[in-house]
Amino acid sequence: MIELNDTHAPDLTSWVSSANDPTNDFPIQNLPYGRFRIAGSDAAPRVGVAIGDQVLDLQAAGLTTGQDMAVLMALDATGRAALRHAISTALRAGNESAHLRAALVAQADVEMVLPCEIGDYTDFYTGIHHATTVGKLFRPDNPLMPNYKWVPIGYHGRSSSIVASGQAFRRPLGQTMPAGAQAPALGPTRRLDYELELGIFIGRPRDMGDPIALDEAESHVFGLALFNDWSARDVQAWEYQPLGPFLAKNFASTLSPWIVTTEALAPFRRPFTRPAGDPQPLPYLDSPAHRLSSVFDIELEVWLQTARMQAAGQPGERLSVSNFADAYWTVAQMVAHHTVGGCNLRTGDLFGTGTLSGPGPGGAGSLLELSQGGKTPVTLANGETRTFLEDGDAVILRASCNSPGQRRIGFGECRGTVLPARATAA
């Protein structure tokens, strides 16, 4: 586990004044990493750290010697701690210099790209409240499969269709089986949904055949970001048996641009427990140290901005609030289970947590849950209704860590917009 140090001090301030605003996601206690270029240019991405409303170009500041994010992500714990401390020291109040100020770029003037080159992508299913609610739609008397409370469920997804926050994508086409039909039809999905997730980035690699022990697992994790794993629910219902999601999931997934490191998350941890009556994890997924402090307390929000809201200049409407602490499996357990059979991990590999819903209706992490499978439309404040997403809708995910006595840190936003589908072939 990462110990707290002077970089976490809640009273620490920065000479970048916007970082001292308590509502800003990027105070000096955060220091998330991302890749950027000046908006409108075709320059190669540069590695930066968010501080207030600015980006610190690490190479221009003399804090790194290159622009390869993978090199930073693969550092061991000592190297990562040293780099965090050097960045924190450079940005602390009283340490301003012309050299450092020249290395700042306003976030309003940059284009953020994917925070790293993503290798393999695995999507887990750790949100037990989502799994239970969705399971009840199909199996009211037995919503969870027998293996759910024993094994972190996951599947291998497609990394090449993961896009950076702010991008739009076309409504996907796919096969669906209309009610009462004798044959499926090809057409645009009518049940397009979002999924509120976190993305987990692997930093230090691991060779094939060399499993990662639970108490070592987090040393291989660089950090977390917001992740929207869009889903075509009607396509998914027709295609997913027996091998799982395919076209319902491979058309787009949206990732926020900043990786909040496990070092920054150190003050926001909780003990791991199992509800009374639930089975305890198998030994390879359990340890005293893991039980002590392996759960991340991250509050999550979903906002919807319809085309009508955008035209009216309205920022959107919040649909739900949940917390990563309610997930059934932890980051460490996902890593340990992923490698127990001998699977290798590479720097830049991405894990999705699965949809992170809360225990009540206000915590639903998808429209599938909010609309009860499309049966109950969600009424918005402006009178519009939704069962699933419509063309022109923008979905915005937000997240923050808020603990008494600690400086609030945030993840920025993860935004994606739905465009009309392309015409189907004749």
pLDDT score recorded for residue 426: 46
| Strand order across the 110-113 sheet | 104-106, 54-57, 46-51, 33-38, 110-113
E-assigned strands of 24-180? 33-38, 46-51, 54-57, 104-106, 110-113, 121-124, 154-157, 162-164, 168-170, 173-176
Candidate list 129, 130, 220, 290, residue with the active-site label? 130
List of residues 6+ apart from 170 with CB closer than 8 A: 251, 419, 420, 421, 422
pLDDT > 90? residue 138: no
Q: Residues 342-363: what's their mean pLDDT?
A: 96
pLDDT score recorded for residue 390: 98
Residue 400 token pair: 């923050």
List of residues 6+ apart from 204 with CB closer than 8 A: 74, 75, 76, 219, 220, 347
List of residues 6+ apart from 83 with CB closer than 8 A: 63, 64, 72, 75
Q: Is 77 exposed, middle or buried (0-12, 13-18, 19+ CB in 10 A)?
A: middle
CATH class belonging to 6-113: mainly beta
- 298 vs 58: CA distance, rounded Å: 27
**In this predicted model, what pLDDT tens digit does every residue of 139-161 receive, in sequence order?**
998 899 999 999 999 999 999 99
User: What string of DSSP letters covers 303-353?
Assistant: EEE-HHHHHTT---EEEEEEEGGG-SS-HHHHHHHHHTTS--B-TT-EEE-
CA 100 to chain centroid: 30
pLDDT score recorded for residue 423: 83
DSSP state of 424: P
CA distances to 176, 179, 232, 245, 344 from 240, rounded to whole Å, are 11, 17, 11, 5, 26
- 97 vs 28: CA distance, rounded Å: 17
**In this predicted model, what pLDDT tens digit does every residue of 395-406 receive, in sequence order?**
999 999 999 999
Q: 352 has which bridge partners?
A: 123, 199
- 350 vs 97: CA distance, rounded Å: 37
DSSP state of 201: E
Q: 242 preceded by cis ω (within 30°)? A: yes
Given the candidates 3.40.50.920, 3.30.950.10, 3.90.850.10, 3.30.428.10, the CATH classification of the domain at 121-419 is 3.90.850.10
Residue 394 token pair: 């923008």
pLDDT > 80? residue 168: yes
Residue 301 token pair: 């929000």
pLDDT > 50? residue 197: yes
Closest CA to 203 of 267, 163, 262: 262
CB 229 within 8 A of CB 155: no
pLDDT > 90? residue 297: yes
* Mean pLDDT, all residues of the chain: 97
pLDDT score recorded for residue 360: 87
- The four Cα atoms 78, 80, 81, 83 give a dihedral, to 10 degrees, of 120
130 in active site: yes
pLDDT score recorded for residue 55: 98
Buried b (16+ CB within 10 A) or exposed e, 82-106: ebbeebbebbbeeeeeeebeebbbe
Q: Residues 350-373: what's their mean pLDDT?
A: 96
Domain with CATH 2.30.30.230 in the chain: 6-113
pTM of the predicted model over 0.75: yes
Residue 195 token pair: 């999924």
pLDDT band at 425 (very low <50, low <70, confident <90, very high): low
Domain with CATH 3.90.850.10 in the chain: 121-419
Neighbours of 276 (CB within 10 A): 5
pLDDT band at 344 (very low <50, low <70, confident <90, very high): very high
Please, what's the largest Cα pairwise distance for the chain? 73
**In this predicted model, what pLDDT tens digit does every residue of 248-289 receive, in sequence order?**
999 999 999 999 999 999 999 999 999 999 999 999 999 999
Buried b (16+ CB within 10 A) or exposed e, 329-338: bbbbbbbbbb
Q: Residues 20-35: what's their mean pLDDT?
A: 98
